[in-house]
């Protein structure tokens, strides 16, 4: 299917962060856009305000007339998170519609464009958002499909007038193999999604296949130490591209960039943590490879405000600091906590963590226990199941028992806000990829009025 032939698009699972970006893109192109999702959220409310019709009932009758018959100009996009027995999904299948996953649609859009694809088991949303911001802020321009809401643009999609597209390339169910990028970044290859891949070697195999799909003259930027050939980058000074002289000044991380050809001194980054300096180093490498002037890049990096739920400071006053982060893998938790400790070394760290997926909790339970044992006080929520059914014996209690700190407890999500009100912590961090984000506003109100 060619992009120019698409006039109507229906999204089965429109409320997802990646799906909603595509919905906005097609609506901007003037297509008729509708969709279904099981839950009303702030994001679906924004889509409705933008004129997109959304149903929250999984019933055939809710599908608009324009999508009841198969037409050549109609695209149906679905997310693997939708159950296979969903009525709406089965309606489109029974009518012979050609259903596409988000990644396949990104392949259709990016075909014929200069594609920058950012992959990695973590770091890809922040890095792709940094690339998109640098290209936009410098006036170079790009269209971008991002896995988070950028604070600078309050959106997960950017619209450019040129032929450049930045996409977040998702490794889940090998989705990124639909892309053929001109430039690519691989931020990390830690074991994850073992429910799909089985083991780490198969995950690595997929990343190598992704790297092999780079166009002949393309550039591949690889975090130093990963088992893929490319231009290495690092925040420890041992790669082809390096961040050096990293320090904290006035709550910002400041560093120098060096790639053997270009030196940029005293770059300021508002997103804390060595891992984010590393992400910025990769983004700068991409921008310089496109011919953007170093001074313009430096200014753009300083103006990057981050991504919602990526080390986002929610409350900062004399009594309380509250940070929220999407971290849901042991390595992500470690990076988050390290950044917090660097910024606030003297403060007692209280963490609320919602484990995401029974399979991930099972596969990394010892690693989770180790990193969660480094905080001062822990509140553990029940496991968020997402697409999974429970696994016998895999519970938050099992994880709690392996955590070695004294100040630890399990709490129902509905009681967490009252618990925090009673504890009145000086430094609070919420982490997780499930529905823990519904606690952000209530916790914000509680801590602002404590």
> 37 near 13, Cβ under 8 Å?
yes
Question: 259 with 386, same domain?
Answer: no
CA–CA dist 375, 425 (Å, integer): 13
Q: Does a structural domain hold residue 420?
A: yes
Question: How many CA atoms lie less than 13 Å away from 245 in the CB half-sphere?
Answer: 12
The mean per-residue pLDDT over the stretch 42-54 comes to 94
Say whether both 15 and 143 belong to one domain: no
Asked whether residue 307 is assigned to any structural domain, the reply reads no
Q: Could you tell me if 297 and 391 lie in one domain?
A: no
The reply to whether 171 and 295 lie within a common domain is yes
CA distance 84 to 396: 28
Task: Tell me, yes or no, whether 322 lies in a domain.
Answer: yes
At residue 195, the pLDDT reads 55
Q: Inform me whether the pLDDT recorded for 288 exceeds 70.
A: yes
Q: Compute the distance between CA of residue 145 and CA of residue 141 in angstroms, rounded to an integer.
A: 13
Q: Which of 192-201, 222-231, 369-378, 395-404 has the lowest mean pLDDT?
A: 192-201
Give me the mean pLDDT over the 415-444 stretch. Answer: 95
Beta bridge mates, 429: 323, 351
Say how far apart CA 343 and CA 429 lie, in whole Å. 13
Residues 381, 384, 389, 392, Cα dihedral to 10°: -30
Q: Mark 262-284 as b/e (b = at least 16 C-beta within 10 Å).
A: eebeebbbbbbbbbbbbbbbbbb
CA-based max dimension of the chain: 63
Question: Global pTM?
Answer: 0.86
CA distance 331 to 39: 30
Output the pLDDT for position 121.
Answer: 86
Residues 349 and 260 in one domain: no
Judgement on whether residues 220 and 339 belong to the same structural domain of the protein: no
CATH of the domain at 24: 3.40.50.720
Quick: pLDDT tens for 179-227.
Answer: 889 999 999 987 654 555 556 677 788 889 999 999 999 999 999 999 9
User: For residue 367, how far is the Cα from the chain centroid?
Assistant: 21
Domain holding 208: CATH number?
3.40.1190.10
Average pLDDT over residues 87-107: 92
Q: Residue 442, exposed/middle/buried by CB under 10 A (0-12, 13-18, 19+)?
A: middle
Q: Which of 302, 323, 356 is the last residue of a domain?
A: 302
Q: What's the pLDDT score for residue 192? A: 57
Give yes or no: residues 79 and 26 share one domain.
Answer: yes
- The pLDDT of residue 140 is above 90: yes
The percentage of the chain sitting over the pLDDT mark of 90, rounded to a whole number, equals 76
User: Do 296 and 325 sit in the same domain of this protein?
Assistant: no
Residues 239 and 293 in one domain: yes
How much is the mean pLDDT over the chain? Answer: 92
Q: What is the pLDDT of residues 113-128, one digit of tens each?
A: 999 999 998 899 999 9
**Residue 235 in this model has a pLDDT that exceeds 80:** yes
Count of structural domains, the chain: 3
Residues 348 and 298 in one domain: no
Tell me the torsion sign for CA atoms 15, 6, 101, 119. Answer: negative
What is the per-residue pLDDT for 211? 92
Q: Are 120 and 193 in contact (CB under 8 A)?
A: no
What is the distance between the alpha carbons of residues 202 and 53, in angstroms, rounded to a whole number? 40
Residue 288 contacts residue 327 (beta carbons within 8 Å): no
Note the pLDDT of residue 219: 96
Task: List the alpha helices (DSSP H) in 395-439.
Answer: 396-402, 416-423
Quote the domain boundaries for residue 252: 112-302
- Identify the CATH number of the domain in which residue 371 sits: 3.90.190.20
């Amino acid at each position: 299917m060619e992009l120019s032939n698409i006039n109507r698009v229906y999204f089965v699972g429109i409320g997802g962060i990646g799906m909603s970006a595509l919905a906005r893109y097609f609506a901007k192109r003037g297509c008729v856009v509708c969709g279904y999702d099981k839950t009303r959220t702030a994001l679906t409310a924004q889509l409705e305000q933008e004129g997109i019709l959304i149903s929250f009932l999984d019933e055939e009758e809710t599908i608009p007339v324009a999508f009841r018959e198969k037409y050549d100009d109609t695209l149906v996009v679905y997310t693997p998170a939708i159950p296979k027995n969903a009525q709406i999904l089965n309606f489109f299948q029974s009518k012979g519609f050609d259903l596409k996953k988000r990644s396949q649609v990104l392949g259709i859009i990016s075909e014929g464009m200069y594609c920058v694809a950012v992959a990695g088991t973590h770091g890809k949303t922040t890095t792709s958002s940094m690339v998109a911001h640098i290209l936009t802020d410098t006036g170079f321009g790009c269209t971008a499909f991002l896995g988070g809401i950028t604070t600078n643009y309050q959106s997960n999609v950017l619209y450019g007038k040129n032929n450049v597209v930045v996409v977040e390339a998702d490794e889940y169910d090998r989705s990124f193999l639909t892309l053929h990028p001109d430039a690519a970044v691989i931020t990390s290859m830690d074991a994850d999604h073992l429910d799909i891949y089985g083991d780490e070697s198969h995950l690595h195999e997929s990343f190598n296949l992704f790297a092999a799909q780079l166009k002949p003259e393309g550039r591949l930027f690889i975090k130093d130490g990963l088992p893929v050939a490319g231009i290495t980058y690092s925040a420890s000074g041992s790669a082809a591209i390096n961040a050096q002289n990293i320090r904290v000044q006035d709550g910002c991380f400041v560093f120098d960039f060096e790639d053997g050809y270009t030196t940029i001194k005293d770059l300021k980054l508002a997103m804390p943590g060595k891992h984010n300096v590393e992400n910025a180093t990769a983004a700068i490498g991409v921008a310089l490879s496109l011919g953007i002037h170093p001074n313009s890049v430096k200014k753009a990096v300083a103006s990057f405000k981050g991504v919602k739920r990526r080390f986002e400071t929610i409350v900062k006053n004399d009594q309380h600091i509250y940070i929220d982060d999407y971290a849901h893998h042991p390595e992500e938790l470690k990076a988050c906590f390290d950044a917090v400790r660097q910024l606030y070394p003297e403060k007692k760290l209280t963490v609320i963590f919602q484990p995401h997926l029974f399979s991930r909790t099972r596969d990394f339970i010892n690693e989770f226990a180790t990193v969660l044992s480094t905080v001062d006080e822990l509140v553990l929520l029940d496991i968020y199941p997402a697409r999974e059914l429970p696994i016998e014996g895999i519970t938050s209690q099992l994880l709690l028992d392996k955590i070695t700190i004294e100040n630890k407890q399990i709490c129902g999500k509905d009681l967490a806000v009252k618990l925090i009100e009673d504890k009145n912590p000086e430094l609070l961090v919420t982490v997780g990829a499930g529905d823990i984000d519904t606690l952000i506003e209530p916790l914000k109100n509680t801590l602002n009025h404590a």
